[in-house]
Structure 1
Amino acid sequence: MTYEQVKSLKPEDFKRLCGIRPETFNQMLEAVHRPVNQNRKLNPVHLFVSDRAAPQIPISDSPIQMTSKVAQFTIDSTYLVLGENGDSTPIPVSDRFFADLENKFGDFKGKRLVSHFTFTKDWETWEMHPAGEEFVCLLSGQIDLILEQDEAENRICLSTPGAYVLIPRGIWHTAKVHTPSSMLFITPGEGTQNRPRRQ
């Protein structure tokens, strides 16, 4: 489904499909559209695979403890784990991010990772998430998502900020980057698999 199709859904249907309330999604979009330091370099996406390198951002590597006080975060330096019981846990991005994620949450069963990446080149791998649909939203730039479906490659062009797709459970996918692109992901990480992309 596209954003145009989903944005008119009732809030409870939007949450069922995306894993978050529409109001939360709009707040996340506002946060990532704020100006950022353009001199900072981010690494390509690697979602919940413990043997892959994590983004190299010098941030504290211990989980942030939530209190009754409301705190402000930025999605490029603090990702969010959504629990199946409605809990949310901010996790600072560090050079050990994926190892820390696995240590804290184990197999990630019933959880989703909200993350943000900026891409300047095509993804080097295919990935697949057997535990649920992945929400992939373009914030800026232009990419083609490539999905393996029915023994063929299905290309979906994302070129409008806010455009998104829900990648079906169990579908292998990768991306071709046309211009530097910023993207927001909500990923069911349990059982995620990766494989090299043939050039």
Structure 2
Amino acid sequence: MRLRSLMIKGFKSFADETVLHFNKDVIGVVGPNGAGKSNVVDAIRWVLGEQKSKELRLSKMTDVIFNGTKKRKAGQSAAVTLTFENTKNILPTEYQNVSISRHLYRSGDSEYRLNGVACRLKDIRSLFVDTGIGSNSYAIIALGMVDDILSDKENARRRMFEQAAGISKYKTRKKETLNKLKATTVDLDRIEDLLFEIEGQLKSLKS
């Protein structure tokens, strides 16, 4: 699996549509301070489902939308599309090219797309689980992550090893199953309460 391209439009400093093509196995993005190198990394994290604005160095999520300049009006939406080559079928899909997109509007409405088809964030996360790619994966080293790993803040090292060992998806599935069991237990308790109320009403009617 290889990253093929990144399309950014209306995201942070990228007011106009910008497409980066990754034609080599190893690539570096270089430029002077303020050129937008960090925003490229932020765009990748964002399209992969980052939900915490502080991780993108923002106060609120809608701040990812181009805020305007003295010569240009602020944008009304932000969009990022990430395209991967999947010829080795590392991603569990029949498509040899996989594109994921995220759109956010000033109104706060947002949407995700998988190969152009509307989907849920959960679908994207499930697709990339245990591939080493994700908004919180160690394929993307953000500022402060190295310090967190060295100091083992919040079990950072354990999470890294679990991700590398490929057991993250099982922990995710376990958590989802436990949540479903908890919800089912709550429903059963509610049903028992309703049955108790109905039985009381039946006794009143019989008497």
TM-score (norm 2): 0.30
Q: With CA pairs under 8 Å and 6+ residues apart, which has the higher RCO, 1 or 2?
A: 1
Larger radius of gyration: 2
Name the one with the larger strand percent: 1
Q: Could you say which structure has the higher helix fraction? A: 2
